[in-house]
Structures are given as structure tokens and as C-alpha cells.
Structure 1
Amino acid sequence: MQNDFLQFKSWEKIFNQVFFLISKKVEKACVRTSSLISNTDETIQKYFIFT
């Protein structure tokens, strides 16, 4: 019983690390996407001002 619990704990650690890495990647992607969107918005606004 104790052994199973320890095994579960190590799996939990691995899962947490993987989840952390994925969330970091997602966070970066979101930041990149949002900055891209805001840049696009600015470009569109400038375009409409000029036309």
C-alpha cells in the first residue's frame, strides 16, 4: 500500500512538471497572439485613418 502511494506521488510530480511546462508554453503563445492582435488593430486603425 505504501509503495503504491509513493509511486502515485512520483507520477503526480511528473504530471505537475509537464503541466507547468505546457502552461508556460500556452502563456507565451497567448501573449504573442494578443500582441499580434493589438498590432493588427493598430495597423487597421492607421489604415482607416489614411483612407
Structure 2
Amino acid sequence: MPQMAPLPWLTLLLASSLLIILLMSLLYFNFSYTTNNTNKVSFSSTSTTWKW
């Protein structure tokens, strides 16, 4: 029985690490997407100001 005890702990650690990685990747992609949108908007505004 003591040999079978660490298995659930390992599975819990793996599951928690995978969930954390997924959450971090989602947050990173959302942040990068928003920053890219703001950069595009700022670039378009600067281009319009340069045209004016």
C-alpha cells in the first residue's frame, strides 16, 4: 500500500501543473492579442496624423 500512495499525489501534481500552464498560456495569448490590437490602433492613428 505505501508504494501505491504516491501515485495520486503525482497525478494531482501533473493535473495542477497542466491547468496552471493552460491558464498562463491563455492569459499570455489574451495579453499579447490586446497589445497587438492597441499597437495596430496606435500605428493607424499615427499614420493618419502623418497623412494630415
After TM superposition, the score normalised by the length of structure 1 is 0.75
Distance 2:25 2:51 in 1: 39
| Secondary structure of 2:26's aligned partner | helix
Task: Return structure 1 stretches of 4+ with deviation > 6 angstroms.
Answer: none
Tell me the SS of whatever aligns to 1:38: helix
The alignment's TM-score, normalised by the length of structure 2, stands at 0.74
Aligned to 2:27: 22
Higher helix share: 1
- 1:11 lines up with 2:24 in the alignment: no
May I ask how many residue pairs the two structures share in their alignment?
A: 47
% identical equivalent positions: 9
Show structure 1 runs of 5+ residues with no match. none
Superposed CA RMSD: 1.2
Partner residue of 2:37 out of 32, 36, 42:
32
